[in-house]
Structure 1
Amino acid sequence: MPTSSTARPTTPPTLWAARGRHVGSAAEDTVRHTLERLKDSHAVDDFLELPEEAPDDRAAGPGPRIFEARWKAPGAVTVRARLILAPGSAGGQEWTLLAEAEEAWEAAWPSPATMFWPDDPDVTWDRDVATGLRLRGINTLPDDDKAVRRLLKESGRSPWNIHVVVHEAMTPDHRGRMPLADRLPPGLRHLVVEHRAAPQQLRVVNWALEDFGVQVPRGGAVVLPGTPAPPDYAADEYSVRSVFLDGSVPTDLIAAVTAFAALPRPLPDGAEDALTALREDWRLLTLEEELDRERKLVAMYAEALEAMTQSRDLYREAAERATEALAAYRESAEAAPAGPPPSTTEAPTPLRALTRTLDRFRTARAPRPEAVRRDTAHPSPDPGD
């Protein structure tokens, strides 16, 4: 079983997150045209392309491109989404997409990916970053055993998308070649990578998956936990014993994928920063949001001004008290008799000098002990005696 990290924050129920790679050209133009088309058809309320920021290291190339979009999910639930495009390490451009709704995310809602990318199989934006495989199709495992083990280990460590391994008990016809993505709820279609193992590959597949604590039943399927695994992941609950590849709906497999997607999974590396930027650096504001932000700024400035005013008054009061204390010290120092010269073995300091002066001042003002005892032993005669 992969190591589970409870220290990592988990995905909030309002969040939809995915990462992929666009392997074609002109990814920015594709996103821009899709948003313009959907805005014209009122599927998207509004969108914004943020100005490109110069990177700190000019040798690293251009900075990422960021698009923001806002739309309404069924029930008039507002969804805010942010797409980040950056050059990919394996070519093309990698994209990170986070969408957050005002309520808990529903799998039946439209996929946020289709708000930025065209839902066209010929546009190659749907590549998994970890494996390079497609999100919307069937990915047949390679023939070489070493390549199978390497691919499945990479899939098992992938934390962003959901990887599903299906074993074909026998080679299916065209009816069994329908991708699982086509049967999933819309909100899950662009999160799942489907791997297909041939009938003779069951042993090598299960050998590769031993490290993740899962196994594929013969003629069945399993949802890989990812790394780190969700805290509530149990392999038996996300393993399906039979998947009939005869054109019928794989109800049990769809239920397993849907349940796994609903788990509070640990946020992958980079997702926490992207979520913070989505929430705190959001630029696409409505008029009401602009007014609310200005009111909050005015209130913040008023509080800061009040704090500065209070600090100034406290400083002034402290300065006045310090001046009074200094004047009293000078008066007491002038009234005190001259004391013995300072010791040659101890270097005088301002603090010691002040302490000695105050001690002399208290000694000069206090009555002598001999006078107190004399007055007590021989009281003054009463004028009436």
Structure 2
Amino acid sequence: MAENSTSATTAPDTAWLGRGRHLGPEPEQDVRRNLIALKAAGVLDDFLELDPADAARSSVLHPRDEAADPGPSARRLFEARWRVAEDVTVRAQLTTYDPEGRRKDGEGVVWVLAAEADRVWDARWPSPATMFWPDSDRVAWDHDTVGQLRLRTTNHLPKDDDELRRRLRDSIRQSWFIHVVVHEAMTPDAAGQRPVSAFLPPGLRHRVVEHRGTPEQAQIADFAMKRELSVRMPRGGAVILPVEPRSPDYDPERFTVRSVFLDGSEPTELLDKIAEFAALPRPLPDEAERALTRLRQGWHLLTPDEELAHAQHMVTKYAEALDAMTKSRDLYREAAEAAQAALADASGGGGAPLLPGSGPAKAEGSPLSALTRAFGRFRRDPGKGRGKDGSEERGTDPAPDEDPGT
């Protein structure tokens, strides 16, 4: 994927945004199966699948708005609606995309997910990702668009120094997720290898990518982060990486944990730091802003009450348009009648008034044009007149070599 450009807008606190890659053979089929199962279980109120071209044309709110168009590389668009905390409605759109340029083996299908609630997002609510994707390790939907990074597991830092610095740079510039680097003071057992994200609440769990540094990588990882990001990685501790452009609210010391015990116990201090970081104002990448705008302005899955309100709104709009057309027609008729009266006065009452709307519907047949031509005749050469047959003829000017007195 191309490097993100970031707008001055910050992500709203009502939204949940994610972008990743699905490496399996049938990503859309995985989504369909999960949506059908969750609706049957009563988790979802409803869902909808659309062809992207049809979605752009049939947007009920703004049918001509470019925001309703997911773009030429879009494959499918899915919408789902569910409720949390009993009365809070969440609306979400997931769009699958072909990678930019030529598709490489193993690159997978890119997906963008935008969800928004009626009030401030609560991390204890279900993850929107698992409303569309099955929450199973057997379905490889949870890859970041950066390198080979993956959610829901640990990602060991590269051994090569250049590759390590490149991964750190890409993580803060291109990824939509929160990146946490944890250093292993000693090689952990099976319980200690459990990812930190497993302890996070559901709404935050699929927003975190966890990097792990092995015991022998303490110095090289610390040097690389100091050089590239101006942050330090404590031995046996953890640090939450900033994002670019860096927020003035980000302080490396504030988001550094000196000691993390990787023994299977809940790392409470680190979890609190991640939640605090997630609550900071976050710059909204351009693609994320478009996805959020498309969710708000290109929504299709209406409730019965919303359909009724939309129909009433359209009736009002059509009535206003009809009223404006009627007023415009009446004004035009009044102008035409006034112009014809002026024409009759200018021609000495000899001009027969025309009925409104008669004659060809073009510019030269308009009342204003007829009036202009009538006054134009009075500005012509006074020697002009009409013949006996009523046709226009020129005056008898003498020839240049003829004596006017003869």
TM-score (norm 2): 0.75
Partner of 2:338: 321
Task: Specify the code of the residue in structure 2 equivalent to 1:172.
Answer: P
Deviation at 1:6, TM superposition (A): 8.9
What residue in structure 2 maps to residue 163 of structure 1? Answer: 179
Instruction: Report Cα offsets for 1:124-160 as digits up to 9, x if no partner.
Output: 1110111221100011112222222222221122341
- In the aligned structure 2, how far is the partner of 1:78 from the partner of 1:98? 14
C-alpha distance in 2 between matches for 1:171 and 1:64: 43
In 1: Cα distance, 2:340 partner to 2:254 partner: 77
1:138-187 C-alpha deviation (Å, 9 max, x unpaired)? 11112222222222221122341111111222222233211011011110
SS at the partner of 1:259? helix
Shift of 1:216: 1.8
Which stretch of structure 1 is more off in the superposition, 261-270 or 33-42?
A: 261-270
Question: Structure 2 CA distance, aligned partners of 1:137 and 1:76?
Answer: 33
- How far 1:331 sits from its partner (Å)? 5.6
CA contact (8 A) 1:162 1:191 kept: yes
Higher mean alpha-carbon deviation, 289-298 vs 305-314, is at 305-314
Q: TM-score, normalised on structure 1?
A: 0.79
Q: Which runs of 5+ in 2 are unaligned?
A: 57-70, 350-371, 380-406
Bigger shift: 181-190 or 258-267?
258-267
Question: Secondary structure of 1:83's partner?
Answer: strand
| Paired residue type of 1:278 | L
**C-alpha distance in 2, partners of 1:139/1:7?**
29
Does residue 307 (structure 1) correspond to residue 324 (structure 2)? The answer is: yes
Residues 87-134 of structure 1 deviation map (CA, whole Å, 9 limit, x = unaligned): 235521111111111111000100011111111112111101112211
| Matched residue type, 1:11 | A
State which of 51, 60, 83 in structure 1 corresponds to 2:94: 83
Opposite residue 154 of structure 1, the aligned amino acid is D
Question: Residue 100 and residue 330 in structure 1: after superposition, are their counterparts in 2 closer, same or farther (change >3 A)?
Answer: same
1:28 paired to 2:45: no
- Report the structure, 1 or 2, having the larger helix content: 1
In the TM superposition, what is the alpha-carbon distance from 1:288 to its structure 2 partner?
1.4
**For residues 129 and 284 of structure 1, what CA distance do their matches in structure 2 show?**
28
Cα displacement (A) at 1:328:
4.9
Indicate which of 228, 232, 241 corresponds to 1:211: 228
Matched position secondary structure for 1:120 = coil
- Aligned position for 1:184: 200
* Other-structure match for 1:370: none
2:7–2:286: 8 Å Cα contact kept in structure 1? no
- How big is each residue's C-alpha offset from its partner over 1:349-372, in whole Å with a ceiling of 9 and x where there is no partner? x89x98x98xxxxxxxxxxxxxxx
Which residue of structure 2 lines up, in the alignment, with residue 49 of structure 1? 49
Tell me, yes or no, if structure 1 residue 107 matches structure 2 residue 118.
Answer: no
Deviation at 1:204? 2.3
- The answer to whether the Cα contact below 8 Å between 1:149 and 1:204 also exists between their aligned partners in 2 is no
Contact 1:159 1:227 survives alignment (8 Å): no
Which of 70, 75, 87 in structure 1 is aligned with 2:81?
Answer: 70
The Cα shift of 1:320 comes to 3.2
Measured after TM superposition, the shift of residue 32 of structure 1 is 0.3
Residues 25-69 of structure 1: CA distance to partner in whole angstroms, max 9, x if unpaired? 11111110001111110011111111353899xxx9974211111
Residue identity opposite 1:226 in structure 2: V
Residue 264 of structure 2 aligns to a residue in which SS?
coil
CA shift, 1:219, in A, is: 2.1
Q: CA deviation at 1:213?
A: 2.9
Residue aligned with 1:35, SS:
helix
Change beyond 3 A, Cα 1:227–1:260? same
Match of 2:137 among 121, 127, 141: 121
- How far did 1:19 drift? 0.7
Structure 1 unmatched ranges of 5 or more: 333-349, 358-385
Are the counterparts in 1 of residues 7 and 284 from structure 2 also a CA contact under 8 Å?
A: no
In 2 relative to 1, CA 329–243 (structure 1 residues): closer, same or farther, beyond 3 Å? farther
Q: Which structure's CA Rg is the greater one?
A: 1
| Residues 54 and 62 in structure 1, CA contact (< 8 A), matched pair in contact too | no
User: Could you report, residue by residue, the CA deviation over 1:182-216 in whole angstroms, capped at 9, with x for unpaired residues?
Assistant: 01111011111100112232332233333333222
Report the Cα distance in structure 1 between the residues aligned to 2:90 and 2:200, rounded to whole angstroms.
Answer: 21
C-alpha deviations, 1:322-374, integer Å up to 9, x for none?
34444555569xxxxxxxxxxxxxxxxx89x98x98xxxxxxxxxxxxxxxxx
- The amino acid of 2:46's aligned partner reads D
Cα separation, partners in 2 of 1:316 and 1:252, compared to 1, 3 Å: same
Amino acid at match of 1:260: F
Percent identity of paired positions between Structure 1 and Structure 2? 53
8 Å CA contact 1:158–1:226 kept in 2: the answer is: no
Partner of 1:39: 39
Alignment check: 8 A CA contact 2:143 2:151 kept: yes
> What is residue 367 of structure 1 aligned with on the other side?
none
User: What residue identity is the alignment partner of 1:311?
Assistant: S
Tell me the SS of whatever aligns to 1:176: coil
Structure-2 separation of matches of 1:200 and 1:25: 37
CA contact 2:45–2:83 (8 Å) conserved in 1: yes
Write the distance in 2 (CA, Å) between the matches of 1:51 and 1:148.
Answer: 40
- Structure-2 change in CA distance of 1:69 and 1:322 (3 Å): same
Amino acid at match of 2:201: P
Q: Give the equivalent residue in structure 2 for 1:265.
A: 282
Secondary structure, aligned partner of 2:293: helix
Match of 2:301 in 1: 284
1:234 correspondence with 2:243: no
Which sits farther off after the overlay, 31-40 or 135-144?
Answer: 135-144
State the AA in 1 paired with 2:132: F
Q: How has the CA–CA distance of structure 1 residues 281 and 328 changed in structure 2, closer, same or farther, with 3 Å as cutoff? A: same
Q: Distance in 2 between matches of 1:19 and 1:242?
A: 31
- Is the alpha carbon distance of 1:236 and 1:318 closer, same or farther for their aligned partners in structure 2, counting shifts above 3 Å? farther
Q: What is the aligned residue count?
A: 335
Contact kept? 1:159, 1:268, Cα under 8 Å: no
SS of the counterpart of 1:298? Answer: helix
